[in-house]
Structure 1
Amino acid sequence: MAQTHTGTQPLISLQNIYKIYQMGDMEVRANDGISLDIYRGEFVSIVGKSGSGKSTIMNIIGALDVPTEGKYILNGQDVSEMEDDSLAEIRNKTIGFVFQQYNLLPKQNLLENVELPLIYAGVGKKERTERSLESLERVGLRDKWRYMPQQLSGGQQQRVSIARALVGNPSLILADEPTGALDSKTGREVLDFLKQLHEEGNTVVIITHDNSIAVEAERVVKISDGKIIFDGDVKAYESIL
């Protein structure tokens, strides 16, 4: 069972979430009554096979989409029925995204790539530069701030995407298959860095199809056919593999 946090408000609260897509005359339930609380400072993996519904729930957690039914409370705000502009504001203020594909702009240097969330948030140039350099320093790449993405290895590019995720001081770091485009050694380095961020007090949620990645977290949530079929600590999860 998931751990309890008596008297603590969750950072993420999914309450009986349904996401239904209309496919011709058929209804497809990508999420089928999901309820899940994630608290500040947790390191959680959400694992499931392709088609399980994990990507849909990631989009809802990341305020990239809204549920068909149910309520989603993020950082104390109900975002279940927000319009696109409001969702974008929530994303910019609350969530740092790390994707499988690094999504770096090839014609912008590392500093300019990291600055992007702060530009969207309306932060002034001097503060943007200072905060972006600090964020690059956290991932060990400050001295390469003038480099273009193509001058870096895959692991370094992923670290730049992590720096970009961190620059806005988000409440949540949401990582979608963060090692999927990397070799095993470089993937290990990225996972270790995400663990370090958690140890520093950050809330980290990883979305993955890979059980070997899922067990790197402290808590595992497994989704199958749009439902949660397991929610507990890593030791309990490993016992059923």
Structure 2
Amino acid sequence: MINTTEQESNYTQLDELTVGELLHHINQEDKTVAHSVEKAMPQIEALTEAVVEKMKAGGRLFYIGAGTSGRLGVVDASECPPTYGVPFDMVVGIIAGGDGAIRKAVEFAEDDFEQAWKDLEEYHISDKDALVGIAASGRTPYVIGGLRTANEKGLVTGCIVCNADSPVAAEAQFPVEVITGPEFVTGSTRMKAGTAQKLVLNMLSTTVMIQLGRVKGNKMVDMQLSNHKLVDRGVRMVMDEIQVDESTASDLLNQHGSVRKAVDAYRSIHS
């Protein structure tokens, strides 16, 4: 049986359509993705709760994948330190073929059942950690092998796939199956499937970070102040939180390096 992500597009003669028609049809397909994610909410919740439990106990979160799926994991992991001020090795994204595969596809890298665990061992992964395999097809050997070994080693394992009853999901303790259906361009899983995976990753990592106390109210109080935009945002956050003027907020932020530390320092003096 052919995977739904590989089934024929619902549209034909794409090369004869106008720009406007192409954009409209792509948008119509994209509108279905959030509904597909919604159907998987119980699975997403179960995976997230398992990851939160591990990370509250000091564990880390690892993503493995190939191609677009691997890149999405790398992106999600790389955004956690600047957004939430966590160490760079708390959430780790690994792509088949190594970091060079982020920009340029590495032929047959995804077909090695053994390589994922070898890549993970470089980070001294252990049963304290959680591993999420990302594979639109649900058939990627790199991901299957990594999850299989992780299960043998006692890790919590999950996955994000876009086909039902896949080998990847069978290996995961906490599978997330978001069934996105045929792609607009037949088989191009960077489109709807990739969008669905990005949505699930957003939900997973954001919820984990909030549960770990990295958000106060609705603010990123531990964000890295790595550019002028973020510094300006941090100043406004300090002003709003402790009701001081812009100059005072800026001085506090410069002195303490984060919104949380600036606010806590001010309150310790003025309480």
Is the TM-score greater than 0.5? no
Of structures 1 and 2, the larger Rg is shown by: 2
TM-score for both structures, normalised by structure 1: 0.33
TM, length-normalised to structure 2:
0.30
**Which one has the bigger helix percentage?**
2
